[in-house]
Amino acid sequence: MSLAARRRLLDVMDGKTLSPPPVWLMRQAGRYLPEYRATRAEAGSFLDLCYNPALATEVTLQPIRRYGFDAAILFSDILVIPDALSRHVRFEEGHGPRLDPIDVAGIAALDPEGVMAHLAPVLETVARIRSALPPETALLGFCGAPWTVATYMIAGQGTPDQAPARLFAYREPEAFARLLALLADISADYLVAQIDAGADAVQIFDSWAGVLGPEEFSAFAIEPVRRMIASVRARRPQAKIIAFAKGAGLLLKDYRRLTRADVVGLDWTVPLDFARELQEEGAVQGNLDPMRVVAGGQALDEGVDRILEALGSGPLIFNLGHGITPQADPAHVTRLVERVRGGRNA
């Protein structure tokens, strides 16, 4: 398979401008698709689906078959790493993820031995997806950023403002620093393994970066991701990396410069004039409000057009500002893709 056959998204990651821009959507494989719901019912638990290479490959490919996105993203979850660290991850219907909350002693006892063996089914999924994808479709691997993963490990669940993790970081700074460093190193190993299994590029998700103040953002969001990217590039110098720090706002300039990510993901709250400033320094990805996909119609068209008008003359990967929601109508996603690719006449 020729790398040139699937270079479109990778060209933008190198800083090139393409018209129309490549498009994919975060959570493009998920509950808004009837075919996903059928496969999910077959799998058993959510984690069973993540660790089943045949079924995880199937749900990854479903939106590619339906929409022809320029990239597929591995179907998995950011919490497979704490699961591999024996933190008893489970997903409770109607409540989301639950873990055994970790304390100082638990952090000291964390053992990375065996993590990659635990994640072997996910890496098999990456290889299966790459072999099944059309040559022109890029494959993205991913992981959670250390800060976001740590918030779940400390609280044992998602919380509105991640107060448990923030308090822990203030009260137990040495233990918290050890946790972030361990997660950064394991996550870097995991991304390298995904690249070796066939991923063309990888994305780092820091979904809870927006709750941090400037000093904490530097220590908890920038530094661990910088460490990860440096580790990946030391071993795979040509690695292509997207970093998405949701809610980071004006701190995204430092985030790009210090992490050295190839592409910065933008949530929907980032003003387009500021996004243009970021784009002067390299490719950006985003940033349509997922609610516009739920709304459809004029709201969807106007949102797409504004982004294309503001960012289409520079290196852009069109995406949402966060994951697509279960309420989205699949027909609205078709309209989005056609609008991006065909302009206002779509």
Cβ–Cβ < 8 Å for 180, 109: no
Contacts of 168 (CB under 8 A, 6+ apart): 154, 175, 176
- 């479109």: which residue's tokens? 8
Mind listing the pLDDT tens digit of every residue in the chain (346 residues)? 444 445 799 999 999 999 999 999 999 999 999 999 999 999 988 999 999 999 999 999 999 999 999 999 999 999 999 999 999 999 987 778 999 999 999 999 999 999 999 999 999 999 999 999 999 999 999 999 999 999 999 999 999 999 999 999 999 999 999 999 999 999 999 999 999 999 999 999 999 999 999 999 999 999 999 999 999 999 999 999 999 999 999 999 999 999 999 999 999 999 999 999 999 999 999 999 999 999 999 999 999 999 999 999 999 999 999 999 999 999 999 999 999 998 654 4
Q: Does residue 273 sit in helix, strand or coil? A: helix
Nearest-10 crossing angle of helices 272-279, 252-259: 20
Q: Report d(CA 251, CA 269) in Å as an integer.
A: 13
End-to-end C-alpha distance for the chain, whole angstroms: 32
Q: Report d(CA 6, CA 332) in Å as an integer.
A: 26
What pLDDT, on a 0 to 100 scale, did the predictor assign at position 96? 84
Q: Report d(CA 208, CA 65) in Å as an integer.
A: 31
Task: Extract the tokens encoding 88.
Answer: 């008893």
Task: Extract the tokens encoding 190.
Answer: 């995991």
* DSSP H or E stretch at residue 319: strand 316-320
Contacts of 187 (CB under 8 A, 6+ apart): 81, 143, 144, 145, 146, 149, 204, 228
- What is the DSSP track for 62-83? HHHHHH--SEEE----TTHHHH
Look at phi and psi of residue 310 and say left if phi exceeds 0, alpha if psi is from -120 to 50, else beta: alpha
Write out the CATH class of domain 3-345. Answer: alpha beta
What pLDDT, on a 0 to 100 scale, did the predictor assign at position 5? 47
> What's the whole-model pTM score?
0.96
- The catalytic residue positions are 27, 31, 40, 77, 152
Listed in sequence order, the DSSP H helices in the chain are 8-13, 34-43, 46-50, 53-67, 80-84, 104-109, 115-118, 120-132, 146-155, 163-171, 173-197, 214-216, 223-235, 252-259, 272-279, 290-295, 297-311, 330-342
Pairing of strands 263-265, 283-288: parallel
What pLDDT, on a 0 to 100 scale, did the predictor assign at position 92? 80
